[in-house]
Amino acid sequence: MRYLKWALLAIATLGLVVACGGPSLQSQPAVPEQGRTVATALGEVVVPQSPQRVIVLAQSALDNTLALGIKPIASTYAGFSQRSDYGNFPDYLANKTEGIANIGHASQPNFEAMLELSPDLILSSVDDHGQFYDRLSQIAPTVLVETRADALTTYAEALGKTEQAETLTQEFEARIQQFRQQMGDRLPTTEVSVLRFRPDQVRLYMKDSFCGYILEQVGLPRPASQAKDEVFETVSLEAVPAMDGDVIFYFEDNPQDSMAQQVMAHPLWQQLGAVQQERVYPVSFDTWFLGSGILAANAVLDDLFTYLIDAPP
């Protein structure tokens, strides 16, 4: 009888997709007979004891799920259409994503594909997919996180991997302490500027961005122009002085189409302290911007060790 009930539910749900172009907001998935209750940003969710068919819809969910040792059956991708690798998963996860079905851009996940894959758990964030929560919950139990600070812990609880999450967190915190100790007296006096060169603009990345969050965790100060509780600000060429710091890290949406060369050819750029001290470093767009998970956080920390510890001025 249980299998018959699942079959009838699947047929009914698929019929609603055909009739309405998406899952009906009136139907609900069957609650797992053996499940666990997880507290989420949108209330308690009953998830399977051991999820076997996990779909992730945000890059933070893809990153953290892989870090926890779970390969999802499907994921969306992020990125921007001007990139040559548009449509692919992030480069830094390339050796971990083979066999994962691509179900569209994160902003427009393919709901029909999700239904066909019959997931038993969906993971994402409120910012990315909160507007689809009711629709997603009809496909499978859906766990959305609200902040990057609780993402790893919440995903781990949903996946039954809390011990692994604790280990990952402890290892990351130990690396932070190691970085602080090796920086020593230079830590509070090394202001870090973060720039993003887009095809038609330059952005300063601030405290509320992913990379800004990591810089704050390790204790590196930001220039006054970037020490704000915002994600980014767009600036003009005349604002080149606001890009300065003791160190400048920059990333590009697409190196073949960005304002980097135009900015770096500007006379004001040559006057920046970091430029004159040859402390301007290109870093990965995928890890400093897209990743937003524990693997990306460790990759950012790798860069900080490389440029500020292994190759100090």
pLDDT in tens, 179-207: 999 999 999 999 999 999 998 899 999 99
* 8, pLDDT greater than 70: no
Burial label for 275, CB within 10 Å (0-12, 13-18, 19+), is middle
Q: Give residue 195's Cα distance to chain centre.
A: 18
pLDDT score at 14: 34
pLDDT in tens, 57-100: 999 999 999 999 999 999 999 876 555 556 688 889 989 999 99
Percent of the chain past pLDDT 70, that is, above it, reads 86
The answer to whether residue 13 is domain-embedded is: no
- pLDDT band at residue 313, thresholds of 50, 70 and 90? low
Q: How many domains, in total, are found in the chain?
A: 2
CATH classification of the domain holding 286: 3.40.50.1980
Answer yes or no: do 306 and 179 share one domain: yes
* 6, pLDDT greater than 50: no
* Domain stops at, among 130, 160, 190: 160
* Domain stops at, among 127, 160, 193: 160
Answer yes or no: do 150 and 53 share one domain: yes
Residue with tokens 């949108």: 42
The pTM is what?
A: 0.86
Answer yes or no: do 143 and 186 share one domain: no
Q: Tell me which residue of 126, 2, 113, 6 sits closest to 61, measured CA to CA.
A: 126
Answer yes or no: do 61 and 94 share one domain: yes
Answer yes or no: do 244 and 273 share one domain: yes
d(CA 25, CA 136): 9
Averaged pLDDT for residues 35-55: 94
Answer yes or no: do 75 and 174 share one domain: no
Answer yes or no: do 209 and 79 share one domain: no
Answer yes or no: do 138 and 253 share one domain: no
Answer yes or no: do 40 and 148 share one domain: yes
Answer yes or no: do 37 and 111 share one domain: yes
* Domain stops at, among 119, 139, 160: 160
The answer to whether residue 227 is domain-embedded is: yes
The answer to whether residue 20 is domain-embedded is: no
Answer yes or no: do 143 and 57 share one domain: yes
The answer to whether residue 5 is domain-embedded is: no
Let me know: does 273 contact 241? Beta carbons within 8 Å.
Answer: no
pLDDT in tens, 223-276: 999 999 999 999 988 899 999 999 999 999 888 888 999 999 999 999 999 999
- pLDDT band at residue 291, thresholds of 50, 70 and 90? confident
The answer to whether residue 6 is domain-embedded is: no
- pLDDT band at residue 30, thresholds of 50, 70 and 90? very low
The answer to whether residue 9 is domain-embedded is: no
Domain range for 224 is: 168-310
